[in-house]
């Protein structure tokens, strides 16, 4: 059987793990409250975890707060790869990349009655699949993680505020696979190991936000997170080079974290709080993602929370358009992009249902948790040109990649609040 071993590993956190894909490659939210309420947080005050959603919101804090915790993330991805129109010649397998841990920690404190500062460290993004033991699925393995540090300063008055966070992003990328010489040489028995070795990168960006209280119980807000350019020496160019025989060429080693535009609203009535966020993630304008034909993703998130004296419970819903767009699989570049995207970068989940709660365990400490479930979606991408080229008569042999993807995530967090 013709073999190609593709291991496209994008790893950006020294101790964060290898795969997650919710709103594209991004987690739907940071922290237990945000995840419990559908990934909202642009206009609702959730504490120090607000820094990345909207840095202005930490201006609503009343004292000093410390949070730390993490998310256990479990994607369930399986792929069928058919190499004929009757779907008789089939390779089927489940990805072995199915359990990961994503860290988060943040601190905020009041400087004076109008200023608050803080710093957060968050695992925010990732992606991956592992088929390295499956010949018919190109022995593929992928992994992505992004770890961000966000020092934050917020200014506010009695009606509204603004906030700013310079972002520091660390990343590591490893791309390797085994390419069949049969496609480019007279010796079909030889496979060549392709790879540059692990490369690391550091990138910089910013987040800026604002909010305004239309009433005591009604807040509207907006924020913008810039793109963060990341360059991983030798990684993408080395991996893409053998696929030049299919017309697939990438001449740079950049994989840019896309910019985000966000708006939100939060309304409280008695013990209930209702939240709604909308955002656009610009995958279609980010270096690297553009080369694989990704498109911008629009996200709508809704949440509701009941707050009692010593506990809270919440639920939410999050929907995002998949940024992975099918290319023309009858062309070489389109077929290669379709295989990478649908089999090895399955960022295809759309709907997410969320539930969570918290309980005071002391005067200062609260333990909080959230569950996120994304039901299974199926995506079918044409890979005809990659699968077999052409028959003896010069006609393309139909083939396709069919991927099923669902997710479960569980977030646990401890919150210490030292209000003045």
Which pair of structure tokens corresponds to residue 92? Answer: 């089927």
Least-confidence region, from 90-104, 172-186, 192-206, 343-357: 172-186
Looking at the structure of the chain, the number of domains it has is 1
- Confirm whether 275 is domain-assigned: yes
Question: E strands, 131-271, where?
Answer: 141-156, 160-180, 191-195, 199-215, 218-225, 260-269
Non-local (6+) Cβ contacts of 186 within 8 A are: none
Q: How many CB atoms lie within 10 A of CB 91?
A: 17
- Confirm whether 126 is domain-assigned: yes
Q: For 225-282, how does the pLDDT look when each residue is reduced to its tens digit (9 = 90+)?
A: 999 999 978 888 888 888 888 888 899 999 999 999 999 999 999 999 999 999 999 9
Distance CA(327)–CA(35), nearest Å, equals 32
Q: How many CB atoms lie within 10 A of CB 340?
A: 28
- Confirm whether 344 is domain-assigned: yes
- Confirm whether 7 is domain-assigned: no
Q: For 40-61, how does the pLDDT look when each residue is reduced to its tens digit (9 = 90+)?
A: 999 999 999 999 999 999 999 9
Q: Which residues pair with 390 in a beta bridge?
A: 396
| 174-192 mean pLDDT | 59
Distance CA(4)–CA(163), nearest Å, equals 48
Q: Higher-confidence residue: 267 or 82?
A: 267
Q: Higher-confidence residue: 20 or 224?
A: 224
- CATH number, domain with residue 171: 2.40.160.60
User: What is the total residue count of the chain?
Assistant: 420
What is the span of the domain harbouring residue 293?
A: 18-417
- Confirm whether 13 is domain-assigned: no
- Confirm whether 342 is domain-assigned: yes
Predicted pLDDT of residue 280: 97
Res. 204: pLDDT tops 50: yes
- Cα 166 to Cα 71, 205, 224, 225, 257: the distances in Å are 24, 6, 12, 10, 15
Burial 356-378 (b: 16+ CB within 10 A, else e): bbbebeeeeebbbbbbbebeebe
Closest CA to 362 of 308, 415, 288: 415
Q: Higher-confidence residue: 392 or 146?
A: 146
Predicted pLDDT of residue 33: 95
| 128-152 mean pLDDT | 79
Q: How many CB atoms lie within 10 A of CB 111?
A: 11
Q: What is the pTM of this model?
A: 0.87
- Confirm whether 155 is domain-assigned: yes
Q: For 23-34, how does the pLDDT look when each residue is reduced to its tens digit (9 = 90+)?
A: 888 989 989 999
- Confirm whether 5 is domain-assigned: no
DSSP state of 254: B
Res. 129: pLDDT tops 90: no
Least-confidence region, from 76-90, 101-115, 118-132, 166-180: 76-90
């Amino acid at each position: 059987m013709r073999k190609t071993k593709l291991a496209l590993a994008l790893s950006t956190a020294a101790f964060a793990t290898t795969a997650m894909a919710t709103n594209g490659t991004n987690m739907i939210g940071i922290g237990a409250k945000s995840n419990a309420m559908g990934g909202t947080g642009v206009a609702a005050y959730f504490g120090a975890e607000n820094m990345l959603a909207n840095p202005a919101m930490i201006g609503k804090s009343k004292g000093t707060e410390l949070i730390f915790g993490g998310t256990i993330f479990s994607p369930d991805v399986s792929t069928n790869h058919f190499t004929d129109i009757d779907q008789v010649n089939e390779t089927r397998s489940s990805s072995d990349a199915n359990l990961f841990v994503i860290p988060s920690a943040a601190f905020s404190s009041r400087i004076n009655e109008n200023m608050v500062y803080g710093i957060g460290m968050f695992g925010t993004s990732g992606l991956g699949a592992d088929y390295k033991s499956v010949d018919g699925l190109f022995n593929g393995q992928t992994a992505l993680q992004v770890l961000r540090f966000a020092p934050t300063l917020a200014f506010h008055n009695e009606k509204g505020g603004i906030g700013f966070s310079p972002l520091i992003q660390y990343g590591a990328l490893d791309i390797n696979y085994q390419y069949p010489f049969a496609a480019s040489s007279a010796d079909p028995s030889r496979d060549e190991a392709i790879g540059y070795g692990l490369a690391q990168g550091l990138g910089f960006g910013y987040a800026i936000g604002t909010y305004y209280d239309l009433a005591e119980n009604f807040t509207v807000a907006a924020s913008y997170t810039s793109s963060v350019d990341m360059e991983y020496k030798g990684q993408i160019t080395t991996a893409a080079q053998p696929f030049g025989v299919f017309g697939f060429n990438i001449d740079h080693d950049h994989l840019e974290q896309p910019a985000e535009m966000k708006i939100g609203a939060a309304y409280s009535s008695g013990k209930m709080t209702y939240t709604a966020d909308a955002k656009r993630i610009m995958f279609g304008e980010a270096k690297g993602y553009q080369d694989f034909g990704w498109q911008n993703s629009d996200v709508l998130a809704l949440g509701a929370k009941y707050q009692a004296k010593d506990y809270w419970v919440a639920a939410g819903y999050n929907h995002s358009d998949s940024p992975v767009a099918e290319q023309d699989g009858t062309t070489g570049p389109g077929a290669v992009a379709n295989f990478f995207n649908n089999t090895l970068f399955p960022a295809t989940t759309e709907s997410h249902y969320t539930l969570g709660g918290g309980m005071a365990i002391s005067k200062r400490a609260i333990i909080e948790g959230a569950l996120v479930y994304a039901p299974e979606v199926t995506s079918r991408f044409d890979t005809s040109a990659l699968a077999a080229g052409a028959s003896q008569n010069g006609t393309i042999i139909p083939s396709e990649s069919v991927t099923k993807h669902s997710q479960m995530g569980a977030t646990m967090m401890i919150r210490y609040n030292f209000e003045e």
